[in-house]
Structure 1
Amino acid sequence: MEKIIEENKQGESLVLEQKDGNSKKLFIESYGCQMNFSDSEIVASILANEGYNTTQNLEEADLVLVNTCSIRDKAEQTVRKRLDQYNAIKKINPGMKVGVLGCMAERLKSKFLEEEKIVDMVVGPDAYKDLPNLLKEVEEGRDAINVILSKEETYGDIAPVRLNSNGVTAFVSITRGCDNMCTFCVVPFTRGRERSRDPQSITEEIAALWERGFKEVTLLGQNVDSYLWYGGGLKKDFEKASEMQKATAVDFAQLLDMVATQFPKMRFRFSTSNPQDMHLEVIEVMAKHHNICKYIHLPVQSGSTRVLEAMNRQHTREEYMELVNNIYRIIPEISLSQDMIAGFPTETEEDHQDTLSLMEHCKYDFGFMFAYSERPGTLAARKLEDDIPAEVKNRRLTEIINLQQKMAFERTQRFVGQTVEVLIEKESKRSNEHWSGRNSQNTTVVFPKEGNYKPGDFVNVKISNCTSATLIGDAVGYSDMN
């Protein structure tokens, strides 16, 4: 699974409207990818029905939960430090209970509960509906644990409470789990096998968001392109489905077409894509609908076929480049972004040069780039020696980042002189005299607050200048999306 981890959101605590009659206080923090933040909204919804209102004051909390990530060592170390802080407060407030949710919960269950005794409760990503029972166990003085991975759970029947929301953009989960056994990744072990959510429950959640004034939805999953609904069950069991189930199955291209048609004034994005599962039908649906954003996060991890094979990525360098060529052919104005790992075990200088040349071929607008760090429990940790010295990894990573920054500036410059459609999301961070939003290609656009424009409006903006990551311009009127 490819995870976009937004550094500025790490450790964000959730707040929602206070429910009358709820007397207990919940403090919940999230780390990792957007799936974790989305899951925290589900947890908050379940606990609101159990008498909990959220608080941002850790000291007054009856229950403290941290939703965790195992994809990078840095995220794990941060969570461990937070658990130490929680437990320091617990000495002052002994009634406070502490729980770990999510991917680290599944991976480090016995360490947390039995060896280190630093939490009262460990809850895996598929067990959130069991929280009321687990809390009863804790209240009766017993440790509580449920990290069973489900073949069915998609939380399609729970309407997430939108937390810290700008009221304009929202995330809607469409799949859970991952079947791609990339050797560097823990996700298949912490989130289980791939299963998709009923398209009716997806469209109902989007309709509810539309009624509340939201204007953009990102369809979310570990691997959205492999979405496949045939009445429930694991994707890998599709071959055992009946002929009727197969004939009426809905794949990702069909789902995307369905939501874009049903909600023509709502804008759609999706994340994350896996190159091996992305079919041209998806690109053709994107080209057909104005309200599907012209942006794809298409992680590659390496430009070397030999390294891709060692990573168990199910595509070669050539297949990836052919896919990118076809995407640009069908949607010339599209933006692409990448995930890249520098210094994967056995990576040679030639492999690294292959990565740089692939980047130049693909002309990425954005990138998420990391030096390889061994994750316990992965196939790479078990089978491959982490044999690239840190200084080599860091030098290669620096070269990748420098190339990406150069390309990003060139790609952003293409919009100067153009008029782009922008969905206003909020005030600019740097100036309360400017609005900020994104264009279809996911580039941030800022422009002066003139006229009666407000968050949630689609506005045409004439671009006059840019930095490597931001477009600057002036509004010239509302777009047809309003």
Structure 2
Amino acid sequence: MEALELTDKKIDEVRQGEAFSPFDNDPNKYSKKFYIESYGCAMNFSDSEIVASILQGEGFGATRNTEEADLIFINTCSIREKAEQTVRKRLTEFRKMKKEKPGMLVGVLGCMAERLKSKFLEEEKLVDLVIGPDAYRTLPGLITEAETGQKGVNVLLSREETYSDIAPVRLNSNGISAFISIMRGCNNMCSFCVVPFTRGRERSRDAHSIVNEARDLFERGYKEVTLLGQNVDSYYFTDSNHPMDKAITFAQLLEMVALVDPSLRVRFSTSHPKDITEDVLITISKYENICNYIHLPLQSGSSRVLQLMNRTYTRDWYKAKIDQIRKILPECGISSDIITGFCTETEEDHQDTLSLMEYSEYDMSYMFFYSERPGTLAARRYEDDIPEETKKRRLAEVVALQNRLSHESNKKDVGKSYKVLIEGESKKNDQEWKGRSSQNKTIVFPKADFDVQAGDYVMVKVTSCTQATLLGEIESI
């Protein structure tokens, strides 16, 4: 799922924080309560907001407390083995809770639901409901079925479902930033990735519904939206009701959302090196409110390994794309995904990855060692033949290099000024604000005597930095 994935360090924080903020302040309005935890990628978190909207329509109110929940869902991820292990552990804990609260239902949503439905239902008897990512509309009927003691199951994939008509309930939101899903599924068939099998084929959402959602968020006080898709650059929408209308590409969609209002920041994730176009880069350069940040997953710096991964680009192609971005967007922040220890990877292949990281000068990366996922093309075609200690050693070298690149990138920003959207107080000090620059870098700065609040834009001068964070002071508001 590329850029959308969360880091391991965030898993525990996410699990604790994802039990939603109630979307209705009246505790007596709902006679039933639901609780959801989301794991894995930003798309899963966006899906949870769709699920919450459907549950709200069925009379369920959100709760942060599992003990008062009548319905518990885990929105799952199958990208890496560790995520699956974490989900299994949580389901075991919920099974113990069910013994003390008869009638409570436990369900699994998302990618693991599709892949491991039989194990959850029959072998381990961990859940009452199993719902795949394209079947959330059937939740009401499945819940009713599960309440009778039957198992509620629907993991069918769709070629049309985009949930474009469902208004997501913004969960655990800061009221400033929000996700907007613009497409679902993936057609790329990277050999290491399970997404095409768990989320189905690619389909784009109605462009007008996306713009309307962005406008509604802005009118409700939100200042930033992130357009989500497995591969946003392949977004392509044609209105079948108006065949004379021209198809809308991702570059055009970006412009449409940017034009909602100049003070609404627009981000997007994820791009694919083979699909990001010059038109997208030019559109970013035209609008100040489209952030100068691109996540461009590399995966490997070796052309031979890239071919085995079915990434459909070469090392030289990727370098040319980096050059094009730097030429059109000189101040653009760039990040990546890196996998070490893919099947047959040699030391020379590994060095190719390190050298291409140096060339690209990434601001940050999501870095993992290869974990074979059942059902993928790689699992069927190749032997997972790299010893785990070799994978981990190579990963440690990649992480060490990225730490150096991140620090070098941050040091270049010292003395510069950036427009920052204040997202809230710093976790370490309530006398400091935190926010992000257009380049997606976190900046922490004292509140001082300026009359500003979360959701405001301020100009911040960077005075120092750490490996991960810029430190500064407000210059103007």
For 1:452 and 1:409, the matched residues in 2 are separated by 31
1:351 paired residue number: 349
Cα distance between partner residues in 1 of 2:452 and 2:61: 34
Q: 2:174, 2:260 → 1: CA distance?
A: 23
Deviation track 1:124-169 (CA, whole Å, cap 9, x = no partner) reads 0011011001111111221110011111111111111111111111
Deviation of residue 245 (structure 1)?
4.2
Task: Please say if 1:231 is aligned against 2:231.
Answer: no
SS class of match (1:414): helix
Deviates more, 1:114-123 or 1:172-181: 114-123
Contact 2:103 2:147 survives alignment (8 Å): no
Q: In structure 2, how many angstroms separate the alpha carbons of the residues matched to 1:305 and 1:272?
A: 21
Whole-Å Cα distance in 1 between the matches of residues 138 and 71 of structure 2? 16
**Deviation at residue 17 of structure 1 after TM alignment:** 2.4
Partner residue, 2:124? 116
Q: What SS does the aligned partner of 1:263 have? A: coil
Whole-Å separation in 2 of the counterparts to 1:327 and 1:93: 56
Instruction: Determine if contact 2:21/2:173 at 8 Å carries over to the other structure.
Output: no
Within 5 Å, give how 1:11-410 maps onto structure 2.
11=15, 12-18=18-24, 21-231=29-239, 245=243, 248-410=246-408
Task: Provide the C-alpha distance between the structure 2 equivalents of 1:325 and 1:56, rounded to a whole number of angstroms.
Answer: 47
Q: Is the 8 A contact 2:135 2:154 kept in 1?
A: yes
Aligned counterparts of 2:82 and 2:143: Cα–Cα separation in 1 = 29
- Code of the residue aligned with 2:212 in structure 1: it is E
Partner of residue 5, structure 2:
4
What's the CA shift string for 1:294-319, capped at 9, x where partnerless?
01010010000000000000111110
Given that residues 230 and 246 in structure 1 are in contact (C-alpha distance below 8 angstroms), is that contact kept between their aligned partners in structure 2?
Answer: no
CA distance in 2, matches of 1:461, 1:117: 54
SS at match of 2:274: helix
For 1:188 and 1:200, how far apart are their aligned partners in 2?
26
Q: Partners in 2 of 1:57 and 1:215 — Cα distance?
A: 30
| Pick aligned residue for 1:448 from 424, 443, 446 | 446
Taking the aligned partners of 2:72 and 2:316, their CA distance within structure 1 comes to: 48
CA contact (8 A) 1:16 1:161 kept: no
Distance in 1 between the 2:224 and 2:260 partners?
14
Does the aligned pair in 1 maintain the 2:23–2:169 contact within 8 Å? no
> For 1:60-103, what per-residue CA distance to the aligned partner results, in whole angstroms no more than 9, with x for missing partners?
21111110000010000000000000000101111111110000
The code of the aligned residue for 1:10 comes to: V
Distance 2:65 2:398 in 1: 41
Q: Secondary structure at the match of 2:22?
A: coil
- Report deviation, 1:263: 1.9
Contact 2:39 2:76 in 1 (8 A): yes
In the other structure, the counterpart of 1:432 is 430
Q: Unaligned 5+ residue runs, structure 1?
A: 233-241
Map of 1:458 onto structure 2: 457
TM-score with structure 1 setting the length: 0.95
Post-superposition shift, 1:231?
2.3
Gaps of 5+ in 2: none
User: What corresponds to 1:236 in structure 2?
Assistant: none
Summarize the alignment of residues 461-472 of structure 1 with structure 2, pairs less than 5 Å apart. 461-472=460-471
- In 2, Cα distance between equivalents of 1:255 and 1:150: 23
Q: Deviations over 1:321-374 (max 9, x none)?
A: 100000000111111001000000000111011101101110000000001111
**How much has 1:247 moved relative to structure 2?**
5.8
Shift of 1:246: 8.1
Counterpart Cα distance in 1 of 2:339 and 2:295: 15
Instruction: Give me the whole-angstrom Cα distance separating, in 2, the residues matched to 1:135 and 1:271.
Output: 33
Secondary structure of the structure 2 residue equivalent to 1:218: strand
Deviation at 1:115, TM superposition (A): 2.3
Shift of 1:468: 1.3
Q: RMSD between aligned alpha carbons?
A: 1.3
Paired residues of 1:337 and 1:367 also in contact (CA < 8 A): yes
**Kept after mapping to 2: 8 A contact 1:151/1:195:** yes
Aligned length, in residue pairs: 468
Deviates more, 1:359-368 or 1:114-123: 114-123
